[in-house]
Amino acid sequence: MPSLDHAITKAVQILRDGGLVGFPTETVYGVGADVGNDRAVQQIYHVKRRPTGHPLIVHLAGASAITRYAQDIPAAAWQLAEVFWPGPMTLVLKAAAHTSRVATGGQDTVGLRVPSHPLAQALLGVFGGGIAAPSANRFGQLSPTRAEHVREELGGDIDFILDGGSCEVGLESTIVDLSGDQVHILRPGGVTRAQIEAVLGKPTGNASRNAPRVPGSHASHYAPRTPLTVLPRQQLLQHLLSPEATTARYAIVSLDLPPPCFDGARWKVMASTYHDYGKQLFATLRELDKLQCEQILVELPPSTPEWAAVHDRLARAAARGQ
């Protein structure tokens, strides 16, 4: 097992040579390339099978690097960066003239984020430039929260994977669009709307029709292959008591119901806080997806605002095929 320093040195060399590196962040694992190397960035789209119009996030070592990739930066961006970086928040800003339009999917805005995971910090610090990185999964699939997820899904197609254990947040970053006159949240995530509004001192909007394209906003993004339904406890119980429940092969994601007569592998009892639930969600769905059940039934989580990112990812997972 090479030392961490050795692993970082190797990863940096691969990036400098135009290769692709899987690396941990506190949200999910990313697959990164040198944002200054258009060919390397193009390779990310190819490996992910992601349409090239869908922009990538540029990861930075610190907030001061914003000015290298963005222009006309509003005061609100600095305020949010000050409070939430390093951390699970992406800022969409007007792109600087020289910022790679391959990374921005051809748009004149750029998504920037300073991750807090120590390995991501070390990688960015030693590399010294921006790393363009989407989540390290094939387009439309669940984001990886462990190195082995990346290995399973992209292992043969990328040059190296830095293993940083399980991701602390487990859901992708909150995306805040500051490129227009109004502040919009394009994707809920680890930083909540209330936290953002508390810093800005004003309400924020949701993604509007005019907002930049966000692939995560495709209804079926983050879907497992097994059809998934989210339903309140009462309906979940009715489903399980129905005659077909004996033959249908359900996998269950419950809040705190213990497994009745189901085999344990198909019945997951989730953590009770939104933080821990979010951390477990993608790994749990990945695991259940492998069991080849007919359906994954998910008990509807609480509806208080801090659960917004969990509801968002569950709704997308449920929308598959619709």
Q: Which of 169, 75, 193, 152 minimizes the C-alpha distance to 115?
A: 169
Total residues contacting Mg ion by CB under 5 A comes to: 1
226 lies in the binding site for Mg ion (CB under 5 A): no
Q: How far is the CB of 137 from ligand TXA (least distance, A)?
A: 8
Which conformational region is residue 152 in: left (phi greater than 0), alpha (psi within -120 to 50 degrees), or beta?
alpha
Where does this chain touch Mg ion (CB under 5 A) — which range of 89-97, 129-137, 278-286, 305-313? Answer: 129-137
Nearer to Mg ion, 68 or 213 (CB): 213
Give CA torsion, residues 117, 119, 121, 124, to 10 deg. Answer: -140
What is the helix (H) or strand (E) element at residue 143, kind and residue range?
none
Of 14 and 142, CB closest to ligand TXA: 142
**Binding at 54: pick from ligand TXA, Mg ion, none (beta carbon under 5-8 Å per type):** ligand TXA
28 binds, among ligand TXA, Mg ion, none (CB under 5 to 8 A by kind): ligand TXA
Cβ distance to ligand TXA smaller for residue 23 or 250: 23
What angle in degrees, to the nearest 10, is found between the helix axes of 193-200 and 75-84? 130
132 touches 33 (CB < 8 A): yes
Q: What's at 64, amino acid-wise?
A: S
Least distance in angstroms from the C-beta of 49 to Mg ion: 12
Out of Mg ion, ligand TXA, none, which partner does residue 81 contact, by CB within 5 to 8 A per kind?
Answer: none
Q: Please say whether the beta carbons of 144 and 150 come within 8 A.
A: yes
Supply the minimum distance, in Å, between the C-beta of residue 287 and ligand TXA.
Answer: 20
Instruction: For the CB of residue 221, give the shortest distance to ligand TXA in the complex, in Å.
Output: 8
Q: Is 121 in the site for Mg ion (CB under 5 A)?
A: no
Task: Give the per-residue SS3 of 151-173.
Answer: HHHHHHHCCEECCCCCCCCCCCC
Count Cβ atoms within 10 A of the Cβ of residue 203 and give its class: 0-12 exposed, 13-18 middle, 19 or more buried. exposed
Q: Is 79 left (phi over 0), alpha (psi -120 to 50) or beta?
A: alpha
Tell me the residue type at 22.
G
141 vs 226, beta carbon nearer Mg ion: 141
Q: Which does 133 bind (CB under 5 to 8 A by kind): Mg ion, ligand TXA, none?
A: ligand TXA
CA R_g for the chain: 20
Q: Residue 48 has which token pair?
A: 């992910």
Min dist. Cβ of residue 231 to ligand TXA (A):
27
Q: Which does 25 bind (CB under 5 to 8 A by kind): ligand TXA, Mg ion, none?
A: ligand TXA
Q: Which of 107, 135, 174, 284 binds Mg ion (CB under 5 A)?
A: 135
Q: Which does 188 bind (CB under 5 to 8 A by kind): Mg ion, ligand TXA, none?
A: none
Q: Which residues bind ligand TXA (CB under 6 A)?
A: 25, 27-28, 30, 54-57, 90, 92, 104, 107, 109-111, 113, 115, 133-135, 172-173, 175, 186, 212, 214-216
Find the shortest distance in angstroms from Cβ 318 to ligand TXA.
18
From Mg ion, ligand TXA, none, interface partner of 226 (C-beta below 5 to 8 A by class): none
Could you tell me how many helices (H) and strands (E) the chain has, helices first?
10, 15
How many other CB atoms are found less than 10 A from the CB of residue 117?
A: 22
Residues forming the site for Mg ion (CB under 5 A): 135
